[in-house]
Structure 1
Amino acid sequence: MAGLRTVPLPDAALQLLATWKARAKRTAAHELIFSTVSGKPISPNNVLRRWVWPACQAADLERATWLTFRRTYSSWAHDKGVPAKVVAQIMGHTKVDTTMNVYTQVLDGAARAAADRVGSELFRIVQKPENSTELTH
């Protein structure tokens, strides 16, 4: 594990975790929400083997790894306009370059969407108004 940090979660995830914890047999505030039977943290590799990879297989997807999840989060956040510095902080990176160059990937359709946005603005600016021989600025 690279380090411990506080990670913000969406309200919907917090609600699901609160519901899960309320139903759990062990309810002490200091106990882990997900743990082994003995109360210890679950190994990240066991999470992949026992739950993630079977889910991937059932969905006919390639095996996901923790890197897959990190790249997906970074790419989606970037696509939704979250500032790179914020994504870097959430991911525990001291350098935004690491986040952008290693983890963030251009999603399908992003280049086309960018071309359309810039193009529509460009053509709005240079389009001739009706009954005019001058270009608008």
Structure 2
Amino acid sequence: MRTLLAFLALILSTPILAQSALPPAPYADRQISDPVLERKAKALMETIRCLTCQSQSIADSNASMAGDMRSQIRERIMAGEQPEHIRAWLIERYGDWVSYEPTADPVLWPLWGAPLLLIGLGLLLLRGRIKRRRRQ
């Protein structure tokens, strides 16, 4: 019985132990004092996907990972780095999925071409049916 109670106490205390004691990133929720730089950072943040939420940009997410990414972007912008270089760094670090902007890699061309091919095939089938109905 004691073993069972100890096991239950351990299981129930796990979420408490999982809380991070780390402070939030310095620029996670603090804007850059220069409005031009903040606009650049904000525009970039709106095109980067939150890795935790997956359906929100890091500009809209409250996840700690999104806060860390916002802080990194603001710090790099303040250091004079261009948003395109920061985006490339984030894609290199986290993969193409992190960016909301689609890529045009040759591997993905079938995905872009398949809808056009299916629409063309559908139009050909529709034309054939219309011709058959006219003959009857």
Work out whether the TM-score is over 0.5. Answer: no
Structure number having the greater helix percentage: 2
Q: Which has the larger radius of gyration?
A: 2
Q: Which of structures 1 and 2 has the larger relative contact order (alpha carbons within 8 angstroms, sep 6+)?
A: 2
TM-score by length of 2: 0.32
TM-score by length of 1: 0.31
